[in-house]
Amino acid sequence: MDFPIFRVLKNGIQVEIDYMHPQEEETVRALLNSVIVEGKTYPQKQPLSQTEFSSYWLSKDAFVVRASTVDATQKPKEILGAFYLKPNFPGRCSHICNAGFIVQPRLRGQGIGRFMGEAMLLIAANLGYEAVMFNLVFETNIASITLWQSLGFEIVGRIPRAAKLENGQVVEALILYRTLP
């Protein structure tokens, strides 16, 4: 599979998905930590240290979405979102993968999540995975649930009282699953 993968979003921004480079790790960790602190979508309660981030996010394949145009000052391309892709289970079940996604808060709803989701399905199949499973999609994460269902995922289970959100609300988590072609 050839990288980067390019797309023009509905707001006209040209973006690319590529493997995360080492110099981008801290930016992605900061973005993930800001999402964790929001307390609405990830199970972690506290920001991750570099070691914790590496263990969680970098254990297999990690990707970023960058603005694909470089400005005249030659600043690095901005990270707009990111995702990881890794086996959900070991050994005999490692053909089922798991992924986690984050998008810059100010850019949510612009198509970055859909671009990452569609690309992840192609990348996962290309890497030999046979299915994708999300273990904990909080029932209040409507945008995520809607996206994944539109990409062919099915809700295959519910975990009662799975998450205690930052605001104190206790919610169910959904388990989503999709086979890959």
Give pLDDT, residue 71.
57
Confidence grade of residue 68 (pLDDT, cut at 50, 70, 90) = confident
More confident residue, 128 or 77: 128
Whole-number average pLDDT of the chain: 95
CA distances from 39 to 34, 42, 137, 170 (A): 9, 7, 13, 12
pLDDT digits (tens, 9 = 90+) for 108-133: 999 999 999 999 999 999 999 999 99
Percent share of the chain, pLDDT over 70: 96
Give pLDDT, residue 125.
98
Give pLDDT, residue 11.
85
| 151-154-157-158 Cα dihedral, nearest 10 degrees | 50
pLDDT digits (tens, 9 = 90+) for 139-153: 999 999 999 999 999
d(CA 149, CA 24): 30
Give pLDDT, residue 70.
58
Phi, then psi, of 4 in degrees rounded to 5: -75, 165
Give pLDDT, residue 114.
97
Cβ atoms of residues 28 and 82 within 8 Å: yes
List of residues 6+ apart from 129 with CB closer than 8 A: 85, 87, 95, 96, 97, 180
**Average pLDDT of the residues in 24-47:** 97
